[in-house]
Structure formats: structure tokens, C-alpha cells
Structure 1
């Protein structure tokens, strides 16, 4: 049967009347799918941004860091997501890829860490509403970015024998060194910034510096304004000797007393503000001895099926069991999710700088035989037990290796930040966050 013109117009009119109601029925869906940024050939949606902001908010609350205004936090998180997208596109352009076999091996390790077979792990993801195909691609992205950094930054750092000789001569002359806990704020400058842009950025940095010196919470300022990857950790760089810091940081830090804030520092990457959080006697002795720590740990990793709250709760339960006399090594064998589990969580004798700053700070605060509170690091959540400590003379080869590692640590952050700045500047970005 054919519709006559009057009937067709009537139907179109009814559809026109219904359309606003249909759009009004689920406005939150339409809003969540709104594009907030175009990055090269990719986009970031509002729902993706909100999920990341929610995660960052929970992290800041756990650290007891005052929350920045929601608008500020959204803008900071959007910039981090743009950097991630830019890195993935750079990896694609270079032909870097993670093949399916490597990806499946990585996911199998994640499943094993969660005490599941691969099929059980897939079922758990589906139960939580996470499509396995999407999860696979997220893991592929993480591995890809790691390989990109290794290829473009880490592998290109060159430490000469002359640098090592000079480093060893300086540390030997100084004898016992001090360690400094510092936090920083970075305002990244574009690669080809105009004088007007630099002046605007400098004025912004000077205003932040003024607030920091007036007593505003430094961690909150870092979370609100810093362009560094550690911004959501309050800009905390952990305990380092001056030799393990970028030169611009070490020169400024050496002049500060605890809780003092540096002058505004200028580097090729932009403007920096440093705050000295604490100072303590170092581990390097005049005779070349190094204080080493024999430690164990239990690690619970965060994954798509194990939230941060779940990981923390598991370790708090284990800590209660330890208080009631259970053996740390046995619990590590049963529950720890890394390669040390088979050895009862034993990590061997650790030198300063062998572990990430968050782990080392917690470990150094313990007495022999003491177990830490639950602590978080980039690898997940840990319980740490210090078994013993000693001061050990290092062989010449070991001293040179330690010197090389310290020099790499000094250079690596600056090199990575410089590379990210160049990548960000050549990536097409269109902001739509404030569009109605």
C-alpha cells in the first residue's frame, strides 16, 4: 500500500514531535559520548575523561591531598590523556606493535597473578561488564607506550666512562652524603614558544611560586598546575642524593632548608618550582661502604578485576594475620603476585636506589623485623618486612655500575620530559571540553 502525500506529512510531523522526547529520554548518554578533544586522528570522549578524573580523585583522597577544583582537575587529566594518545600515534607511525602472541602471554601473566586460569579471567571480565577485546587493547596500549619510551628515550641515553670517573671522584671526596626528599612543579613550555607565550607562562609560574611561599598546600598546587607525570602524587620525587637529581634541581636543592621553596627555575622544558620536604644522612660512607637492606614483600597488583580498594583490603587482612603470628614468608608464597613469591617474598640485599622511591621510603622507615603499613607504588600495593641491614663494601665494578645507574637516573627524567614536549608540540590537538 502506498502512502499519499497528506499521510506522509502527518507521519513526519509526528516524528518531529517525538524527536525531542527521544533525545530528552537519555541526555546523559549523549553528553557522555561528547568529544572533548581531537588528538591527531583520534578523539577523547567525556565519558573517558570522567572515568580518569574519578580515579584521580580517589587517589588524591587516599593521599589526603586537598582536591583541586573540578574544572582544574579535568583540564589536568585531559592533558595527560592527550599525551597518552600522542604516544600511541607516534608508536603506530614508527611501526611499533605488540603482536597477539606477546599480548596473550602478558594477559596470561595477569591472570596468573590473580590466581586464575585464562578462561576464568575472561569470565571474570565479562561478569564485570568489561569486554575481553577492549581489555586486550588496553594492555596492548600500555606495553606499546613502554616500548616507545625505551626506544626513543631510555635506550639513547649515553653515560661515558669519563662521567662515571668524575661521579666516583666527587662522591668519594664528599664521603657521607645527604639525601633530600623533594617535590616539584613543572610548567612545560612549547618547543617553539614565542616570547609572549614564555612571558605568559613565566607570570603563571611566578603566581604559583608566590602561593607556595605563602603557605598554600604544595601537593595541591602540583596536582592543579604541574605538567609532570608525578603531579597527582603531589610532585613528590622521593629521596635522592644530589647526584641522582637533574643538575638544575641539585643546585637549587643544596641551597634549601626543609620546607623551603626554591626560586623559579628555567630549563629547556619550561619553568620549575622545587620544595625541599626533608633531609637526612646518606648511606654512602667515606670508605665506599653502602648500607644494604635485606627485605621481603607481598605484592598485590591492581587490574581490571582487582580494584585499588580490593588490593588494599587484601593486604590489610594479611597484616592482621601477621600480627597474630603467621609467617611472612609463607603468606608471601601464597599471595604475592610477583616473581619473589616462590622465595617467600625475599628481594635479596637492596642498595639505595634499587627500588622505586615509594617502596624505598617505606622500607627505610622500618626497624629490623618490622612490617610496614600497606603502601602503594607504580607496581601495586605492598607489605614490606625488613629482615636485616648491613654496611657493605662494594667492589670497583659494583661501584661503577651504581654510578652509571645514578647518572642515568639524573638524565632520564629530563630526557623523557624533553621528548614528550617535542611530541606534544607536533601533535594536532583540538580542544572541545568547554563547548556547550
Structure 2
């Protein structure tokens, strides 16, 4: 009996000692304004960096340098988290679940498979989940504070578009078909008029679907007439200036002309092209009503509210635009009766994009959840648009924005850190008893 008691006491002492060691490790290591960073947070981040380095066969600096970098990262995260609290930025559980589901879907994984992948990396799923929540919150804080610091002029966009075009010009190649309705030597006005009339007639036949090769063989005065007028692949910078100016920006199968030169009237066909980005996009025009859940409006109540709106609209008892103006939490579109205008569906969050993809013209879908809240959406119409020039401008804008946003983010973080109260608390030296 005595040995059992001794065993229990020893076990208790060991447990107490272990707990004491854990508590001593989880001390406050850094004070950051109104928040603190714990020793365990620093150790966890350092361990994670080391694990990643081993997995990627990378070398690392000393533990002291790693610790300094880890503290800097955690200080920055803490300042952003505190700012998020002041701004009232929160990510609800449904928003978080939707984001994680989207991450899994983008990796072609179901949620069970995704959990297994996370577990294999040695990360508890709840820890991963909260890390994603923190990333979403800090992302919102950065966007809210840095976006207004970024200014891009139309001239900057225009200059970058020109640079992109110049860089792409060397790769631009056109497969050209050519028909020449030639002039006789020293043509008279009547000769020129007759040639123009013939060229117009040829172009009319081609537009009606006549075979280009057959007409070229029959009617062209060009050197490649017997080859069906096929000039082959030509670099935009290598072809005659007259042709280059005429075909630049034209789509595949485009007919161009008649173009007059000293030799006669030329008709060109762009048989194919390569090295050129031609963007055709489907645009959608839609309208929506957004209801955001809150402390006094649960997720279920928000969904039910939109379901009732849908029933009233379909029954002719309510007007979509009127409901949007009165109830939608999206102020920009609410003023327009919920209308979002013509847009590439890619600009929308995945849930919104998917909902639009499943709708027919004028159809009102069932309420659905996105990161922003609950939506009721009606697809007004679809169209196919040549977005090449717009895409170039968008690409230029995005390149400029990304560069300036990164620069301004660094400046904003430095300013925030410089004005914060930060105190690193060094651990007390251990004392040895006699």
C-alpha cells in the first residue's frame, strides 16, 4: 500500500513538473501595443520554417536569426490583427468554411481528402482553419488600408500597353491570303474605276462564302495566284507596311480591302494567326440582392428572407429592382436596382460565378452563400465580346497595381510598426539552488 502511495505521489510530481515546464515555456515574449506574443507562438513558427526548409532541401541561418525573423513576422501579424479588431473586420465560420471548401475544390479534393492532406503535413485541421481565418482577416486589413494609397494614371496604363504590344510584335505572325486586281501599265481613270468595281465584286463574293483559293486562282494578278493567293506565314514586321497596317488587330478569317497601291487593288484574308493574344470572352449582365448575416440576423434567417423575396418576385407580388434598392447590402448595385452591369464572370467570387453559370437568361436562381453573405441573383443576359484591347488594359493595370500595392504595403507596415509600442521581454536567467 505504501509503495502505491509513493508511486502516485511521484507520478503527480512528474505531471506537475511537466505542466510547470509547459507554463514556463508559454511566457509572454513580446508586448505589441495592446497585444502580446507568447514564447510558444515563436517556437511554433520557427519549427514550421525548419520543417519547410528540410522538405525543400534549403539551408537556414542560425537559430538566433530565425527567432528574430519569427518575432518580426508575429509582430506584423499582431498589429494587423489589432487593427482588424478596431475596424470591426471579422470572418464568420460559414465564410471560413466556404473559403476552405473552395481551396479544396481548386485542388480537386473533397473535404475528407483535404483534411487527410493537411494531417499528413503534421498540422491539426483546427490550427490550419484558424490560420486561414487569420490570413483572410489580415488580407482585408491590408486591402482596406493600402488600396487607397495606390494611384494609377491613364498615361501609365497607356505606356505599359504600348510596351506590351512592342514586346509582342516580334512574335506576331499572320497566315495571309492575297488577291490582286491589277492595273494595266499607265492606267487611266477608267481602268482604275473598272479595277475597283472588280475588286468590290470579288470582296462581295468572298463575304457571301465563295472559296478564296478558287477566286484567287481565277482572278488574281499576284505572283502567288496559282498557289491560291497563299503568301504563307508572315511576321507583322516583315510584311509590306500597307499589309501590316491593314491586318493588324484583325481576327482569323477576316477579309480586308480593297486596298489601293501602285499595282492595283489588294484583298487580303487572315487565314490564321499565331503569337498574338486574341481574347474573346463571354460577358454577363446580372443583378442581385445581398443580405449579410449579423448578430441579429442568423444565416438561416438571411437565406429564408431571400427565399421569400424570390417567391414574391416570381408571383408578381414584388419587383426585383425595388427589393434590391430597399434591402440589398451592396450599396453600389442597390442604387441601380441590384444591377451589376456587363462583366467577365471571372471577376466574381467562385460561388457567384458558379451560380451565374447555371442560370438561363432572365432566370432567378435559388439563394446561395458566398464570402460576402447570401445572394439572390437574376441573369439578365449574356454576350460574347472581343476583349483583347480591354484585356491588355486590364493586364497593364493589374501589373501596375500589383507592383504599387506591394510597395505601398511595405511602406504601410513600416509606418505601422514605427508608431507601435513593441517590447521584447528577454527570459530571466535561470538560478541554480544548492
TM-score range, shorter chain: 0.3 to 0.5
Larger radius of gyration: 2
More contact order relative to length (CA 8 Å, sep ≥ 6): 1
Question: What TM-score does the superposition give when structure 1 sets the normalisation length?
Answer: 0.40
Question: What TM-score does the superposition give when structure 2 sets the normalisation length?
Answer: 0.40
